[in-house]
Structure 1
Amino acid sequence: MSSELEVYILSYNRPEYLIRCIQSVLNQTIVGFPIIVLDNASDFDVVSVVSQFENDRISVVANPVNINSFNNFTKAISLSKSKFLTVFHDDDCMAPSLLQEQLNIFNEYPELGFVTTGVNLVYNEDEMLDFSVLKSSRSGFELFNSKCAILDEYFGGKIFGFSTVMYNRSIITSVVPEPQRFAQVIDRAYLLKLSESYSFAYMDSPNCNSFQHIGQDSYNRTWDFMFDLNLIQFYIECSLKFEKKYLIKFILNELALLYCLRHPLPNLRQVFNCINSVSLFEKFSFIIIYLPYNYLRNKLVFFIKNVLPIGFYNTLIKLKKL
């Protein structure tokens, strides 16, 4: 069955991470599937790095210019010819049995659109290939068949690693939410969009080590808060369309998470623990004060950067004509 699988690795300017990531894919309990590195115009010689493995299963597709991470992801979808597809990230590592377990689930439930798994957040690079935690945490998997059931998992505090998803390429369509609407948070919007049409399975054990480092979007404090607001709006749209009960969970959990994401924390682990630790007062202060403040702030910034300069330019043109 592994011959029906392709693994794509999205790569950009992290050769040491890429080497470690490829090693974790080669360590899988199944063999025979191709590994394609989709490099997003890195500054280093990707082919030279990959050739160190001397493995003809590994190939490189290099983008001449950087097309951003999500476009690189959709490129993998478009290039794939296999029945099953995994699009992995170069700073993550997969547990040796991950792909085999996902294929086993697909073999039992061929109607699933995708199979994903829990992740283990790692802060020490030396621990990235250590999966000893799995020995005591195997718990099987859950099936989700209702529309937008993935919202239950998001709001329940579970961590979905976007790179841990194996897609049933033979049945999923090219469902792509508008990238310009979501940017760095598009992974959540994408899986939510898929879950509207397809059932999925979630493996609760942490079959992926996700390295927490400064280069991640998770640590990028400069992104536009409007992307968060767009994601919130998308959640609400889906909740109203299918299950109104999600709205209550949304207010009490997701907003608290976004609130904490926008405040300095010692490390990212506290972010994912914040749902249970943030007080009710903080949750509602976020809704009443923080959301309107950020919305108005973004509108003001847009006005200063775009509207005022255009108005000033038009005024100069009129003065010149006089």
Structure 2
Amino acid sequence: MSEKPFKSGFVSIVGKPNVGKSTLMNRLVGEPLSIITPKAQTTRHRIMGIINGDGYQIVYSDTPGILEPKYALHEAMMRYVKVSLEDADLVLLLVEPDEKFDADTYGRFNRLSVPLILVINKADTGKGSQIADKMAYWKEQLPNAAAVLAISALTGENLSQLLDTVVAHLPEHPPYFPEDELTDRPERFFAAELLREQIFLHYEQEVPYSTEVAISEFKEDEDILRIRADIYVERDSQKGILIGKGGSALKKVGIEARKRMEEFFQKKVFLETTVKVAKNWRREKERLKRFGYTE
């Protein structure tokens, strides 16, 4: 009896902001690789998560939410989405139960050259026949979809069915990464993201969106990680808000970020933060290049 061929491929998770792409990826990979907050546009980068199973390897990509760019940072984020669609062997398009087809956003998915799986997330919030009706609706709107599934990334509902469907549509190919590799991103990246996550959770209005985190030092000793982070904002007034009275706001963020880092790295962390102003960094291509959004 011949052995089944190994399957491996790149699977891009795409959709509008806040539909649950990062929650889904973390669930599928089994690790909190993507930061999650209630705010839209939390994810700014393309983040890969790798899982290995019996006869397969899946390289998932979490991507920024699809939006109309307003400045250079948004343009860089949408380039990540474009490249992830070009690289993909399979695309998971996430929508919410009350979402409707919009040709400007979703028309391109009828023209994909790779299999598309339409995933209705947050199925646990549906009432009556809403989810069944929506599945029929999306089959009609995206007739080229290889499958239409309803899941809940939050509760785990139907994720095993989604995994089986993904594996079924993977191409035959040797693994792209070693079996013990979990992601393509370095540890410094996750340190920055975990700090940025706390900024998104603790501040309102424009402050989180105007903030970028750069790790200036990441030193691993035997029993402790020493991390120095520079937090950039666009205006002096934002710097004052971020720091807070007597440094209280920044101290709170630092404590919570350090806890998250210790959970993630499984090691004691010493975290030092500095707040700096980089005027209009979201609109300046040189700044974006320095922060790793463009090459």
- Normalised by the length of structure 2, the TM-score is 0.33
Could you say which structure has the larger radius of gyration? 1
More strand by share: 2
- Normalised by the length of structure 1, the TM-score is 0.31
More helix by share: 1
